[in-house]
Amino acid sequence: MVDLKSHVRNIPDFPKTGILFRDITPLLQNPIALHQAIDMLALHWKGVHIDRIVGIEARGFVVGAALAYKLGVGISLVRKKNKLPYKTVGATYQLEYGEDTLEMHIDAIEPGSNVLVVDDLLATGGTACAAVNLVEKLEGKVLGVGFLIELVELGGRRKLPNYDVYSLMEFEGE
């Protein structure tokens, strides 16, 4: 087994002063670490009937696509406002200084579909909650929310109390 945390690069003061950015690029570049991470995510939901993965822009696309392939399902994309070419449904969420909107194609989820929402990192939970909201607007059933990394001190998990939240790695403030 590979120590996945050893493949996460810490970048201080990015994207702004005081932020310690957890960069998964080294993990994605290492075929053994990437394979292990995807296998571990898939194993968590083994035996659960999942119809669709929803990947959150942008690193969630990478993790979500690999996981969708592993599980033999399709992937739908959640993107920032005005980035998708077809008719969309949107969800607005709060940022530290303001708000943002995520969108999904109106035909991205069939009503009643079992969905797993995936992103690289869980921080405050705002982005994940907005993605869950989009799936539910389209009448999908969110069975779980998966992440490579969880920044525990930011409490994002508390915003998702009704879902199976699973993260491969937890980081405290360092």
Residue that is written with structure tokens 């993790």 in the block = 63
Neighbours of 29 (CB within 10 A): 10
Q: Please say if 96 is a catalytic residue.
A: yes
Given CA atoms 22, 64, 61, 69 in this order, what sign does their dihedral have?
positive
pLDDT over 60 at 174, yes or no: no
Reported pTM: 0.95
pLDDT tens, position by position, 20-68: 999 999 999 999 999 999 999 999 999 999 999 999 999 999 999 999 9
Confidence at residue 98, expressed as pLDDT on a 0 to 100 scale: 78
Q: Among residues 52, 59, 103, 150, which one is catalytic?
A: 59
pLDDT digits (tens, 9 = 90+) for 96-122: 677 999 999 999 999 999 999 999 999
Active site includes 110? no
DSSP 5: G
Distances (CA, A) of 103 to 18, 24, 71, 116: 29, 24, 24, 17
Domains and CATH numbers, the chain: 47-171 (3.40.50.2020)
Using CA atoms, how far residue 11 sits from 24, 53, 71, 122, in Å, is: 11, 29, 32, 17
